[in-house]
Amino acid sequence: MKHLKPSATGIISSAAIQMRKEGIHVYNFAAGDPVLPNHPSILEAAKAAIDEKMSPYAPIAGLIELRKAAADWMNRRYQCNYSNEETVVTAGGKFGIYAALQILLEEGEEAVILAPYWVSYPEMVCLAHGKPVIVPTSEETHWKTAAEQIKAHLTEKTRVLILNNACNPTGALYTRQEIADILSLAKTHNLTVISDEVYSEIVYDDAHFVSCASFPEYKSRVLIIESCSKNFGMAGWRVGFAFGPKELITNLVALQSQSTTGTSLASQKAALGALKDADRTAAYVRNAMLRRRNLFFETFNRLFKKNVKPVSSTLYYFAKIDGDSMTACREILEKAHAALVPGTGFGLEGYLRFAFSEEEKEIVKGLEALKKIHFI
């Protein structure tokens, strides 16, 4: 714990917050939080919860009606068959991943992580006394790796594979065949796959999202992590879900009982409002992010004379730069008052992550500020 590294996103966000406290306007390309008013379905449900004038402890595994709504949401989208007993509500998808690793790893056991990765995966593995094993990808392979490449990194100590699809920070999407090959590899080598799918609803144009839940033959070795944060624009409410084998879900509930005691009751009722109107709530967020994605790439290409193709999913663009990424982020924050996240936090030096989740005018003005300091 004494050697635990803070999140790279958190470092930059904290510096940006301090500048704002000093009265400096900061263009926020760092936080992947959809800047939108919550959908009316969420607000109405939350207001109804407040009007009850009571806030007792919620059930540790989550409200029964919310677990059922979450399972129904998954089952409808991916033709799977999760039950309430295979579903748990967590305090954000992040805690679901953390808790799963605490359960699945013994000291010294290994978890395979594909790079670039979400900033918290390696530290979460270390917190479980495990060893993160990094499998690199590249722009040339469209930020994806094949099952055979993963196989080369497996040992007798490998227990877990973390798969992030759609991927933060690159927006990469795996095809059905690619996922089938990875799940087959996991079965052969007796691995549990933690499939982080928290951007499943934020997919653009004609791109297609494939969930690990849509492979019933591998259900016993897959834990799906979902979240309301991105899909429904509810980051601050802290509601996530884990779907998986009953024994693993039971262990997750037990761990919650000894740690968080579950998720805020008001947050769960707000999430239930989102799920009862899931298609419209998700479309509300996705359409707003699509407009911002288009504006970001149009403006970026115009200002920097690039021909960068818009990402197919998520809220991010992983941009190549020359030099040290943390130094670049600090200089950009100081000179352009724009916050970005260094690639080193995602396991790959020489890149910066942009989030295009802010309001349209902030996106344009932020990129114009970067142009003035000759960012590229």
The rounded Cα 301 to chain-centroid distance in angstroms is 26
Q: Which structure tokens are listed for 110?
A: 């290994």
In sequence order, what are the beta bridge partners of 223?
A: 194
CA dist 34 and 355 (Å) reads: 9
What integer pLDDT is reported at residue 101 of this predicted model? 98
Could you give the CA distance from residue 341 to residue 352 in angstroms, rounded to a whole number?
Answer: 6
Neighbours of 16 (CB within 10 A): 22
Place of tokens 């403006």: 299
What per-residue confidence (pLDDT) applies to 7? 73
**What predicted TM-score, i.e. pTM, was given to this entire model?**
0.96
Count of residues in the chain: 376
Residues of the chain with pLDDT under 70: 1-2
DSSP string, 91-121: SSHHHHHHHHHHHH--TT-EEEEEES--TTH
For residues 136 and 150, give the distance between their C-alpha atoms in angstroms, rounded to a whole number. Answer: 9
The letter for the amino acid at 19 is M
Per the listing, tokens 């834990």 go with 223
The four Cα atoms 247, 248, 251, 252 give a dihedral, to 10 degrees, of: -140
Q: What one-character DSSP code corresponds to residue 61? A: T
Cα–Cα dist 171/207, whole Å: 11
Query: Checking DSSP bridges between strand 87-90 and strand 240-243, what pairing results, if any?
Result: antiparallel
- Among candidate residues 199, 197, 202, the one with its CA nearest the CA of residue 214: 197
pLDDT digits (tens, 9 = 90+) for 3-57: 777 777 777 777 888 888 999 999 999 988 999 999 999 999 999 999 999 999 9
pLDDT of 51 reads 96
pLDDT at residue 255, rounded to an integer: 98
Q: For residues 352 and 284, is the Cβ–Cβ distance under 8 A?
A: no
pLDDT in tens, 277-298: 999 999 999 999 999 999 999 9
Angle formed by the axes of helices 93-104 and 246-257, to 10°? Answer: 110
What Å distances lie between residue 35 and 63, 174, 281, 285, 360, CA to CA?
27, 27, 14, 9, 10
Domains within the chain, CATH numbers bracketed: 8-38+280-372 (3.90.1150.10), 40-277 (3.40.640.10)
Return the bridge partners of 351, or none: 320
